[in-house]
Each structure stands twice: as structure tokens, then as C-alpha cells.
């Protein structure tokens, strides 16, 4: 199948407003790659350029060794899955799915084989004869996915496919979509603004801001070693503790000196996730005093806010040691510190 090579792709819809400045990106063969970013940052534009639905102003796109920059959508062998399913209400499940192979000129038997195969993969075989209007949102999204698979695409493009589903179904479909992509060794580009979706599903992800990729890496890399305050905040809750790096791995803050590798000498911030702060004994190494000023219970964890010499810090506690607002306590940091300079 091959990967995707994007070189110097740029786009402005109206003169003078660059939605995508020249952008380079490589997606590996069989990779489930995510574009993550706030609404309006240009994710869908890039996806539509790959599908052939939007023409770029400049640059080139190759699927494997095949240059597709000037090919119409139907010649690209890319299939798209949309947020709103885009199914035909007057057709059955099987007819909707069979439409994909039929429209590429596959024979009747070949279409039937691919339809049955795709419906089995999304676990919808017993619903083949149903009208799509008689299906739940989750089932309709499975049909849309089956239709994309039945096209046997070189590239699968997913545009916020789970946004219309409720939370439980979304969790289920995340696992399913990843399973299908891996089982079929699909190269896929998935666009979302949902960090949990990207973190839990992606092989690699790119965080976008105003048309530019500001960081690219595996979910763990980007979550644990964010390059900027923007990426750190976009991927989850985070505390920024201002301090001074000594250039030898030490980072001095109002709540103590911490080991922070990779920090160049000078003022910057330590990005500290809520799960990296915990209650500690007064005499524990690195313990610093705090006063609890807020508490919210979420069942699996309690989120606390604490006043410290480094400002208000937010942290999570999953133990059953309930502490009250107003209590004085000691906290410590464990692992998971990253330095961010902008």
C-alpha cells in the first residue's frame, strides 16, 4: 500500500489568509496517524486536500510512489469516513456498503465478497438487510466505516468520525477502529480535536496550530515531553511552574530544586501533569508545603487545588485518603516533569 508523502502543501481560501502555510508531512505505511488541534487550525483542509476535494495552491502529495497531486478524488484510492456518516437512507446496510466497490467498477461477485467481508470486520453481518434509518448512531458509523473498507482504499481518511456518538459508544468504536486499521494494515489519517481519542488510538500524532504542525511524535512522547505550553495544555491538564535551569540538569523553583534533563540554562517552565503531584510526608525528599483550597470528586480520582509557593497547583489523588478543603499538607513531585520554553 505505501505511506503518504506531503511536500510544501499550502492553501488559502481567500487572498492574504493562509490556512495552511507550506507543510511537509510523512505518514508511514500502515500507520494510524492523527492530526489534533483546535477548531479552525486547518485539519480538515489538509484531509480534504489528500482526498482530492480541495485543491492546494502549491506542493505535492504521493501515495506510495504514486503522485496523486492532480488526480481527481475517484482516482486516488482514498476513502473517507465523515462525522455525519453520509449514508443513503433509502438503502439497506448492504446496499450502502456495496455502493463503494460498485462505483469503482468491481464485478457483482467481487462487490458481494467485499461487502460481506467489510460487514464482518465491523461486526454488522446480521444487519445487512436492515434499512440504515433503523440503526443507532454507532451502528450507522460502523456501516460508514464498512463502506470505506469495501472500497479497499490505499488511504483511509477519518474526519471526526466519532463526534456524534455518546461517550460509551465512542470508547467502544475507538478500540474497534484501531483494531480494524491494524488488522488490515491500513494507512490512515484521522482528524480530531479530542485529545483522548488521539492519545488512545494513534501510532503518531501531530498537534496543529494555525495551519502549522507544532509538535509531532508518539502519544507518550508528545504528552510527556511537550515542546511548548500550547501542546502541553492541548493534550491534558497541566501546571506550569516557573523556574531557572542551571544548564546542568537542575531546575530551581520556589518549591525546590528538581532534576530536569535537557533544560538549557535560563528561565523557563516545568510542565507538571496533575498525576505527577502527590501527597507526601513532611520529611520525604522534595516535599513542599501546601494548603488545599479546592476539591472535586470524580469517582475514580479526587482533583485537588493547592496553594503553594509556586502558585496554585492542580493534582489528582486516587487513594481513599480524603482530605478537606482548608487543610495544610505536604506535596511532592514524581517523575513526569518536562521543560517548556515558550
Segment holding 9, helix H or strand E: strand 4-11
Q: Lay out the site mask for ligand ADP across 21-50 (x = CB under 6 A, - = otherwise).
A: ----------------x-xxxxxxx-----
CB of 179 to ligand ADP, least distance (A): 26
In this structure, the strands spanning 250-253 and 256-259 are antiparallel
Q: What is the C-alpha separation between 121 and 184, in angstroms, rounded?
A: 10
Residue 189 CB, nearest approach to ligand ADP (Å) = 12
How many chain residues interact with ligand ADP (CB under 6 A)?
A: 10
| Nearest to ligand ADP of 82, 240 (CB atom) | 82
Task: State how far the Cα of 48 lies from the Cα of 329, in Å rounded to an integer.
Answer: 53
Q: Which is nearer to ligand ADP, 11 or 114 (CB)?
A: 11
- Kindly tell me which of 55 and 218 has the beta carbon lying closer to ligand ADP: 55
The DSSP line for 16-82 is TB-SEEEEEEEE-TT-EEEEE--TTSSHHHHHHHHHTSS--SEEEEEETTEE-TT--GGGTTEEEE-
323: which 3 cell numbers? Answer: 482530605
Q: How far is the CB of 20 from ligand ADP (least distance, A)?
A: 8
C-alpha span between 272 and 240 (Å, rounded): 6
Q: How far is the CB of 12 from ligand ADP (least distance, A)?
A: 9
Q: Of 19, 61, 78, 310, which lies in the binding site for ligand ADP, with binding defined by CB under 6 A?
A: 19
Minimum distance from residue 195 beta carbon to ligand ADP (Å): 14
CA distances from 190 to 41, 91, 199 (A): 15, 27, 12
Under DSSP, the state recorded for 14 is B
86 vs 257, beta carbon nearer ligand ADP: 86
Shortest gap between Cβ of 40 and ligand ADP (angstroms)? Answer: 4
Q: 55 or 133: whose CB is closer to ligand ADP?
A: 55
Per-residue binder mask for ligand ADP (CB under 6 A), 45-74, x = binder: x-----------------------------
Cell of 137: 448512531
Nearer to ligand ADP, 45 or 111 (CB): 45
195 binds ligand ADP (CB under 6 A): no
Helix axes 108-121, 137-150, angle to 10 degrees: 140
Interface residues toward ligand ADP, by CB under 6 A: 13, 19, 37, 39-45
Amino acid at each position: 500500500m505505501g505511506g503518504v508523502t506531503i511536500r510544501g502543501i499550502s492553501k488559502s481560501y481567500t487572498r492574504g489568509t493562509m490556512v495552511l502555510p507550506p507543510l511537509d508531512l510523512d505518514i508511514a505505511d500502515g500507520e494510524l496517524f492523527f492530526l489534533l488541534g483546535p477548531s479552525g487550525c486547518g485539519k480538515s483542509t489538509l484531509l480534504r486536500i489528500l482526498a482530492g476535494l480541495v485543491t492546494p495552491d502549491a506542493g505535492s502529495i504521493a501515495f506510495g510512489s504514486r503522485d496523486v497531486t492532480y488526480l481527481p478524488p475517484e482516482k486516488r484510492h482514498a476513502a473517507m469516513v465523515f462525522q455525519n456518516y453520509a449514508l443513503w437512507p433509502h438503502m439497506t446496510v448492504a446496499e450502502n456498503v456495496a455502493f463503494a466497490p460498485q462505483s469503482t467498477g468491481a464485478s457483482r461477485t467481487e462487490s458481494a465478497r467485499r461487502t460481506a467481508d467489510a460487514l464482518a470486520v465491523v461486526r454488522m453481518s446480521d444487519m445487512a438487510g436492515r434499512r440504515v434509518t433503523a440503526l443507532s448512531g454507532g451502528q450507522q458509523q460502523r456501516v460508514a466505516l464498512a463502506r470505506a473498507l469495501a472500497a479497499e482504499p490505499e488511504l483511509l481518511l477519518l474526519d471526526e468520525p466519532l463526534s456524534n456518538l455518546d461517550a460509551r459508544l465512542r470508547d467502544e468504536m475507538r478500540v474497534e477502529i484501531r483494531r480494524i486499521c491494524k488488522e488490515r494494515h491500513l494507512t490512515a489519517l484521522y482528524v480530531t480535536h479530542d485529545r483522548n481519542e488521539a492519545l488512545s488510538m494513534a501510532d503518531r500524532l501531530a498537534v496543529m496550530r494555525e495551519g502549522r504542525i507544532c509538535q509531532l511524535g508518539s502519544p507518550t512522547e508528545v504528552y510527556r515531553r511537550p515542546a511548548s505550553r500550547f501542546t502541553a495544555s492541548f493534550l491534558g491538564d497541566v501546571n506550569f511552574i516557573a523556574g531557572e535551569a542551571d544548564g546542568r540538569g537542575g531546575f530551581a523553583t520556589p518549591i525546590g530544586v528538581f532534576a530536569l534533563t535537557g533544560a538549557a540554562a535560563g528561565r523557563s517552565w516545568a510542565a507538571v501533569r496533575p498525576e505527577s503531584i502527590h501527597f507526601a510526608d513532611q520529611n520525604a525528599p522534595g516535599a513542599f508545603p501546601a494548603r488545599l483550597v479546592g476539591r472535586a470528586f470524580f469517582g475514580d480520582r479526587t482533583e485537588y487545588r493547592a496553594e503553594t509557593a509556586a502558585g496554585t497547583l492542580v493534582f489528582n489523588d486516587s487513594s481513599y485518603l480524603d482530605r478537606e478543603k482548608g487543610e495544610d499538607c505536604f506535596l511532592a513531585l514524581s517523575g513526569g516533569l518536562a521543560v517548556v520554553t515558550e
